[in-house]
């Protein structure tokens, strides 16, 4: 077996906002990029099409690369558990196994702080330990299990780091920004507890830079889970209002008690899944318990350890990110 090229990197999930930003940044920095994704996208780099959970596809994707950045995941507030298992757990297991067999040296698993969020507020904490049994919602539980199995393979010959960017957003984002904008435009976006919960978020360029730094600083980062944010906690209502202003839509004007939203979210989620209901924005229920908890509890993180390990600081502030988002929407009008 030939030695993989150290500057050749496989990036999975490049059809998403963050995956594409990571691939583009690596490309701009002189790495040879190969992407793995389900859909057909015309990229300036080599692309492999297929499912990360397919052993043959995974083996083909990792052949000859020296590093892997794994972002592909099922990201949703609702859905069947088996769907999350297939992509997030089985897919990660297949890719890790294929990478080790192919002689890949470095593996960055892109995770989420939700793997260590158990429903209570997080205020100035570190990364915490992923726990599939306590994480809230199928997405978080499956990502926690995937992070565990990836980090368990860390060794001097196969270095694994988990990078957990928190609430990534930016121009073209469909996971947060478009949901906020569409629901606000329709008058169906309440604030929970007045939007007072203090949260961290991460502008997409910063998240991509931190992930690439994780790869470049693998000697220091491997074996660890690192939460990445802008380090600018703001009330969730303020962040939502900033996104709405950038898009030119009215900010939410009414509030719902968090306890009520959490209870309603549990009921809606069960009914939505049982009925196979569709028709809301992005085929998602209007509320789930996990979403209600995220919107009504504080979650912001101490970034000192992350920044020391990665030797990195964010290059785009929240305000600059909102200005770029406004420019993006002006260009669409």
Q: Are 38 and 13 in contact (CB under 8 A)?
A: no
Predicted confidence pLDDT, tens digits, the chain (333 residues): 454 666 899 999 998 999 999 999 999 999 999 999 887 666 788 999 999 999 999 999 999 999 999 999 998 877 889 999 999 999 999 999 999 999 999 999 999 999 988 877 888 888 889 999 999 889 999 999 999 999 999 999 999 999 999 999 999 998 889 988 998 898 888 888 888 889 999 999 999 999 999 999 999 999 999 999 999 999 999 999 999 999 999 998 888 776 455 565 555 556 556 665 444 344 566 556 566 666 777 888 999 999 999 999 999 999 999 999 999 999 887
| Domains along the chain with CATH numbers | 5-169+200-231+299-315 (3.40.50.720)
The DSSP bridge pattern shows strands 122-125 and 106-110 to be unpaired
Q: What is the CA radius of gyration of the chain?
A: 19
Would you state the pLDDT for residue 234? 95
What does pTM read for this prediction?
0.90
Q: Are 130 and 144 in contact (CB under 8 A)?
A: yes
Q: Are 95 and 82 in contact (CB under 8 A)?
A: no
CA 244 to chain centre: 21
- Token pair recorded at residue 220: 């220091």
Residue found under tokens 């990110």: 321
Count CB atoms within 10 A of the CB of residue 28.
Answer: 10
Q: How many CA atoms lie within 13 A of 197 on its CB side?
A: 23
Would you state the pLDDT for residue 118? 81
Cα separation, 193 vs 204, in Å, equals 27
Q: Are 136 and 289 in contact (CB under 8 A)?
A: yes
Q: Is the dihedral of CA 142, 146, 147, 152 positive or negative?
A: positive
Residues that are catalytic: 139
């Amino acid at each position: 077996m030939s030695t993989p090229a150290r500057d050749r990197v496989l990036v999975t999930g490049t059809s998403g906002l963050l995956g594409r930003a990571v691939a583009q940044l690596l490309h701009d920095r002189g790495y040879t990029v190969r992407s793995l994704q389900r859909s057909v996208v015309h990229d300036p780099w080599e692309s492999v099409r297929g499912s990360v959970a397919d052993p043959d596809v995974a083996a083909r994707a990792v052949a000859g690369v020296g590093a892997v950045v794994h972002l592909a995941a099922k990201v949703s507030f609702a859905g069947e558990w088996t769907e999350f298992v297939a992509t997030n757990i089985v897919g990660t297991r297949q890719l890790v196994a294929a990478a080790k067999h192919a002689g890949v040296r470095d593996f960055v698993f892109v995770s989420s702080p939700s793997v260590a969020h158990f429903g209570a507020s997080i205020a100035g904490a570190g990364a915490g330990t992923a726990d599939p049994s306590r994480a809230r919602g199928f997405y978080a539980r499956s990502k926690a299990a995937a992070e565990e199995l990836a980090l368990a393979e860390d060794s001097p010959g196969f270095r694994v780091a988990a990078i957990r960017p928190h609430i990534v957003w930016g121009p073209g984002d469909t996971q947060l920004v478009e949901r906020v904008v569409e629901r606000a435009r329709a008058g169906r976006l309440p604030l929970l507890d007045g939007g007072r919960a203090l949260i961290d978020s991460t502008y997409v360029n910063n998240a991509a830079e931190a992930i690439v730094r994780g790869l470049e600083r693998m000697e220091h980062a491997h074996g660890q889970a690192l939460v990445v944010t802008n380090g600018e906690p703001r009330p969730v209502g303020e962040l939502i209002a900033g996104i709405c202003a950038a898009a030119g839509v009215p900010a939410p004007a009414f509030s719902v008690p968090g306890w009520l939203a959490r209870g309603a979210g549990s009921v809606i989620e069960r009914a939505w899944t049982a009925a196979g209901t569709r028709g809301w924005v992005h085929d998602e229920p209007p509320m789930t318990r996990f979403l209600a908890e995220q919107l009504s509890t504080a979650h912001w993180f101490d970034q000192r350890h992350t920044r020391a390990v990665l030797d990195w600081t964010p290059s785009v502030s929240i305000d600059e990110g909102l200005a770029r988002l406004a420019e993006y929407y002006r260009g669409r009008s």
